[in-house]
Amino acid sequence: MSWKAVWPFYTGVLIDIISASKQCTQANSINGMALQGFVFKKFSVTTIYECDMSCQREITCQSFNYVIEEKSCELSNRTKEARPENFQPDPARFYYTRFVGRTPLGSIPQLPAKSCREIKASEGQDTISNKYWLDPSGNGKAVLVNCDMEMEDIDECITGNHDCHVNATCTNTIGSHNCTCKEGFTGDGRLCSAFKNCAEIHKSAGKSTDGTYTIKPDNMTAFEVFCDQTTAGGGWTVFQRRLDGSVDFYRNWSDYKHGFGDVYGEFWIGLDKIHRLTSDNNSMLRVDLEDFKGNTTYAEYNIFGVMSEKDKYRLILGFYSGSAGDSLSTHRDRPWSTPDQDNDEFSRGNCAEHWHGAWWYNECFHSNLNGRYHRHGSSYTPGVTWGGWKGERRFLKRTEMKMRPADF
């Protein structure tokens, strides 16, 4: 059947439909024009009527172009009203807006709009403020957002047309937007960098709540830490914790190098990270201890650092103060030892193996906070101990090792 034969019949169909439609004032069909850039399906037909029927069967179909000479249909998921800038002259095509059973743009997740403004353009000036589906980045992930159709404002945060940093939160305002660095990051919102340590978080962000934060002490990868923001003024980056024996601390060199455990529970942050945190030579150490009767004590050292792996993570340590007794100075300048790497001064074996731990052993120790965990206060086998407080055979329930800048 030729186009000339079909057209008079189909024009009559269109006229009947349009006259019965609420949108009779709109130009729903236009010869010599086409909507470009939103075609989601193309196929051959024998008549233009098949285009209309196919469009009505597709829930996302908003309009179609009929390609006259090749007798094919191009179904689109937008209308010329939604995208007037894409509605272009094309003598080879015939454009038609679907209005019978057309799904409003943004009303279902399968048909998200790019912006609230696009919905208003598509559905008319009387479109009410409501929740609509948007996909502002065009990545195929629709989100349900509130659209205020009364405001003549573009939500840059939704459309993605903002200059906020990837680690910032964008907040829309009338005529503009605000950028605020996310928790754990500092900057003006356009540029956000991770804090170097928990002390910076405490000072810059005014954070006095213990918890996990992301820090970046140098130009290497950022990582998560637990911050003690309440003990002795706060600002402490915790790098070791024992509390219930749920994590096995009898581990090899690689595990102590990279770290293990859970920062919410028992963990060792990793010697590489401790080295990064102390490489500015401006750190102090605090050790908090608790026995099985609930008694607590602490030790502080005004200088603390760990050298690189090349130097076997040798311990740098200053002067002691506190109530726990000095049980770390005998380990000063000692390299790290593990069951699989013996760097101690013990001539009759490996301290790490013998005392079931990993530490800056000498011959062998006066403290052994990474030793075997006992769920009671004493044992004949080696355990978690700080000799200056309870003696080397009285074991501890809870330990925390933490650092902060010496000039905090």
Q: What is the pLDDT of residue 382?
A: 74
The tokens for 387 are 């000799």
The tokens for 52 are 């209309």
Amino acid at the residue 260: F
b/e 214-224 (16+ beta carbons within 10 angstroms → b): bbbbeeeebbe
Please report which confidence band the pLDDT of residue 98 belongs to, taking 50, 70 and 90 as the band edges: very high
DSSP 113: B
* Span 307-347, pLDDT tens digits: 999 999 999 999 999 999 999 999 999 999 999 999 999 88
Q: What is the mean pLDDT of the chain?
A: 88
Q: What is the pLDDT of residue 397?
A: 95
Q: What is the pLDDT of residue 378?
A: 58
Tell me which residue of 197, 210, 206, 195 sits closest to 288, measured CA to CA. Answer: 210
Chain Cα centroid distance, residue 285? 30
Bridge partners, residue 214, by sequence: 224
Chain Cα centroid distance, residue 183? 11
* Span 152-206, pLDDT tens digits: 566 778 777 788 998 899 988 765 778 998 876 888 898 888 899 999 989 876 6
The C-alpha atoms of residue 320 and residue 322 are separated, in whole angstroms, by: 7
Q: Are 161 and 181 in contact (CB under 8 A)?
A: no
Lowest mean pLDDT among 30-39, 129-138, 366-375: 129-138
The C-alpha atoms of residue 330 and residue 366 are separated, in whole angstroms, by: 7
Q: What is the pLDDT of residue 3?
A: 38
Q: Are 319 and 300 in contact (CB under 8 A)?
A: no
DSSP 84: G
The C-alpha atoms of residue 183 and residue 180 are separated, in whole angstroms, by: 9
The C-alpha atoms of residue 181 and residue 194 are separated, in whole angstroms, by: 9
What is the three-class DSSP state of 314?
A: coil
Q: What is the pLDDT of residue 2?
A: 36
Residue 5 has pLDDT above 70, yes or no: no
Handedness of CA 327, 332, 334, 336 (dihedral sign): positive
Q: Are 61 and 43 in contact (CB under 8 A)?
A: no
Q: What is the pLDDT of residue 340?
A: 97
Q: What percent of the chain has pLDDT over 90?
A: 67
